[in-house]
Amino acid sequence: MTDTDTSWRLRAARLSSVVTIPDWNLSLDDWKNDALCGQTDPDMFFPDRGESTREAKMVCSRCTVTAECLEYALQHDERHGVWGGMSERDRRKLRGLVVD
């Protein structure tokens, strides 16, 4: 073994006693099971252009996983629908893509 291999192994051993290793068997989308939108009409979250997003946002305001939902939408560049309590326009503003 080289010195580099040894130092890496020592650092990994020290870290493993401090760091919690995530359970990789869990799905990254487990938050969807707790989302209130799954218990309502999905059309509410994908309104036609010009229709209100108010009802969907009200559902999101009572949901416990809005942060995870919004993070998912931003990471996957969701361009349609209400995600994490934000419309497409809200998310574009959040990303700084819209200049008002």
94: how many CB neighbours lie within 10 A of its CB?
14
Q: What tens digit of pLDDT does each residue of 48-64 get?
A: 989 999 999 999 999 99
- Separation between Cα atoms, residue 54 and residue 36, nearest integer Å: 15
Q: What is the pLDDT of residue 26?
A: 44
Of 39, 34, 72, 48, whose CA–CA distance to 86 is shortest? Answer: 72
Q: In whole angstroms, give the CA distance from residue 40 to residue 44.
A: 8
Q: Could you identify the residue written with the tokens 């997003």?
A: 53
Q: How many CB atoms lie within 10 A of CB 98?
A: 11
Q: Render pLDDT for 13-47 as a digit per residue (tens, 0 to 9).
A: 454 444 444 444 445 578 889 999 999 998 999 99
> According to the model, what pLDDT value does residue 65 have?
95
